[in-house]
Amino acid sequence: MAGYSKWASIQHRKSAPDTRRVKIFNKFIREISIAARVGGAGQRSNSRLRLAIARARAQSVPQDAIENAVKRAAEGEPSPTLEIARYEGYGPGGAAVIVHCLTDNPDRTVADVRTAFALNGGNLGADGSVSYLFNQVGLMTYPPGTCVDRLMAAALDAGAEDVLCNDDGTLEVLTDPMDFETVQALLVASGLPPTEGDITQRASTTVTLDGPAAESLVQLLVTLEDLDDVQNVYSNAEIPDEVLARV
């Protein structure tokens, strides 16, 4: 699996205890609140808020929770001052890992992230140590059986940069991040809604892992995802489906 996309889609779909689902929902609500405070509560003029709400809806966050988060932000309800933080490092097998956080206590957050790396066979690196291996892209995923010719024609007409065919039969449409919403809307209007869509970090090179290294990396990613301050985790690891199913 490609860490930049498949891991991102699996991490929230996996069945999980209610306590973990609450954590996941809280991450989306936090991002919605920040987006509304920074750019305003109007979705039409706030692309970050539109994307945050779309992400939340895709993961079944209740609509009333979304609306309440936007309302509280619009009314200026007091909240902790949150900072954006990014951490980079290497996991087991030399896999690159990027961690995006929102935190009201950077010292606590970096300590938690460093501990997660250390306990799972990784090392936290300096700024820029792995980010050069990733590019920010708009990414839409389509299931096996989607007509390649139809999707490619519609995607390129809509302004997409590329359409990729994966070994498992899934298709990926890549866009410039600035064009993501436009391309996605045009594809939906053409009767081609993606199963997944987001602005994400795509690895320019990947590392294939198996066995204990792959299992340890998955544990590292799960541990990082479970931290309250972590919003997104990206890796350039290719991990076999059977390893994911096992761990």
User: Which residues contact residue 107 at a Cβ distance below 8 angstroms, ignoring those fewer than 6 apart?
Assistant: none
- pLDDT bracket for residue 214 (50, 70, 90): very high
CB neighbours (10 Å) of residue 15? 6
Strand ranges inside the chain, DSSP E: 83-90, 96-103, 123-124, 134-142, 162-165, 171-175, 196-203, 207-208, 230-235, 237-238
Identify the pLDDT of residue 9. 43
Identify the pLDDT of residue 13. 44
Give the least confident one: 131-145, 213-227, 231-245.
Answer: 231-245
**Beta bridge mates, 142:** 171
- pLDDT bracket for residue 1 (50, 70, 90): very low
More confident residue, 123 or 35: 123
30 assigned to some structural domain: yes
pLDDT at 41 over 90: no
Task: Kindly state the percentage of the chain with pLDDT values over 90.
Answer: 52
- Are residues 213 and 118 part of one domain? yes
pLDDT at 6 over 80: no
- Are residues 219 and 113 part of one domain? yes
199 assigned to some structural domain: no
- Are residues 148 and 115 part of one domain? no
Give the domain CATH number at 26.
1.10.10.200
Average pLDDT over residues 151-158: 96
- Are residues 184 and 231 part of one domain? no
pLDDT at 77 over 60: yes
176 assigned to some structural domain: yes
Average pLDDT over residues 51-63: 84
- Are residues 111 and 215 part of one domain? yes
Identify the pLDDT of residue 213. 92
Task: Kindly state the percentage of the chain with pLDDT values over 70.
Answer: 90
Give the least confident one: 12-26, 75-89, 181-195.
Answer: 12-26
**Beta bridge mates, 163:** 173
Report how many domains make up the chain.
3
Q: What are phi and psi of 86, to 5 degrees?
A: -130, 135
Instruction: Determine the structural domain holding residue 185 and report its residue range.
Output: 144-194
